[in-house]
Structure 1
Amino acid sequence: MRKLLVINPNTSASVSALLQTHVQAAAGLHVQVSTVTARFGAPYISDEASYAVAAHAALDAWAAALAAPGAAPDAVLIGCFGDPGLLALRESSPVPVTGLAEAAFIEAARHGRFAIVTGGERWGPMLQRLAQALGHAPSLAGIAWKKRLNDGP
């Protein structure tokens, strides 16, 4: 059975539970999905500082997963749209690594130009840099943000 490690780089256990449920359903019965939650950082990644900490937390989660006996995965998915730590984790991992944003960029670009709607204004520059780093900037038509309901007036 193939093993997929999903790393939630924020500290929200409820987000990890959602990731586990949805990724396992999508992966099917022949893939064992294990989701881990960052041991430190923010419960919601909303700015450059929390993004940088989340990248470190993703690397920490990867190291912890490798240290567990029999837990070495066949692939890794970063379970955050923004993929904190993607390039560093890919550089240090002997298995394939992707993130939710990278996977979405690849699929969207297959259909032509695409746009991103995000939950926070500060995500715009971070997602623009990620698209540039991954070679998807030419296909990215724009990034818009929608205020989250719990952000107040």
Structure 2
Amino acid sequence: MRHLLVINPNTSDSVTALLRTHVLAVSAPDVAVHTLTARFGARYISSEASYAVAGHAALDAWAAWRAQGGPTPDAVLIGCFGDPGLLALRECSPAPVTGLAEAAFIEAAQYGRFAVVTGGAAWKPMLQRLAYSLGYGDSLAHIHTVEATGAELAADPVAARALLAQACRSVAEQHPVQAVILGGAGLAGMAALIQSEVGVPVIDSVLAGARQAQIAQGWRSTPAALDGAWFGLSPELMALTSH
């Protein structure tokens, strides 16, 4: 068996369950999917502060998994559209690490220039920074955020479907893009429901994450040494820094 570890940097178990359902749907039969929920932080990441804490929480979850003796994963997926802790976790993990946003950028860029539709206005500058840091700044044509947060959209899927279909359709009509990413862990499965209403491919960030993580399985590297003195971390993170 190959092992895929999905870390939800939100503290919402319902989001973790949603991630697991949709990742399993596109996983090969020989892939065992393991999920972790952050042990601290926001219920749903929607601000710079919660994003910063989520990066710490993702590292802590990885350290806890190692300390508990879980199977060594063949790949790690950060289950948040924004990928908090991506580069830090990649530095610490011998297995390849990707996140929902990076994976969706990879898939969308195969079509050409793309746009992003997601929930929560605070995400726009965060996603712009991430896209440029990962080398997709020139491919990203536009980010459209609806007023409702991802958590609010997930709580009312019927209303969310109509709202998101309209947003994706408008973006595709008003901007020269060849694909639209529907970003957010809580929006898993929604892209397929609205695809017929949008004139370009709609990328589901969760399914993209699952696919890209499995493509990367088997690529291993030597984690970087975490030099320096550390203080006040969880016991699991302190153990991780000692390796």
Give the shorter-chain TM-score range.
over 0.9
1:130 corresponding residue in structure 2: 130
Please list the CA deviations of residues 40-80 of structure 1 after superposition, one character each: whole Å capped at 9, or x if unmatched. 00001000000000000000000011112242211100001
Please list the CA deviations of residues 89-141 of structure 1 after superposition, one character each: whole Å capped at 9, or x if unmatched. 01111110000100000000111000111101110000001001100001000
1:58 corresponding residue in structure 2: 58
How is 1:77-88 mapped onto 2 (pairs within 5 angstroms)?
77-88=77-88
Deviation of residue 19 (structure 1)?
0.6
SS at match of 2:69: coil
**Structure 2 unaligned blocks of 5 or more:** 154-243
1:142 corresponding residue in structure 2: 142
**CA distance in structure 1 between the aligned counterparts of 2:10 and 2:52, rounded to whole angstroms:** 11
Q: Does 1:104 align with 2:104?
A: yes
Which structure is larger by alpha-carbon Rg, 1 or 2?
A: 2
Farther off after superposition, 104-113 or 19-28: 19-28
**Structure 1 unaligned blocks of 5 or more:** none
CA RMSD of the aligned region, Å? Answer: 1.3
The TM-score with structure 2 as length reference comes to 0.60
**CA distance in structure 2 between the aligned counterparts of 1:132 and 1:91, rounded to whole angstroms:** 19
**CA distance in structure 1 between the aligned counterparts of 2:59 and 2:77, rounded to whole angstroms:** 12
The TM-score with structure 1 as length reference comes to 0.95
How is 1:1-153 mapped onto 2 (pairs within 5 angstroms)?
1-148=1-148, 150=152
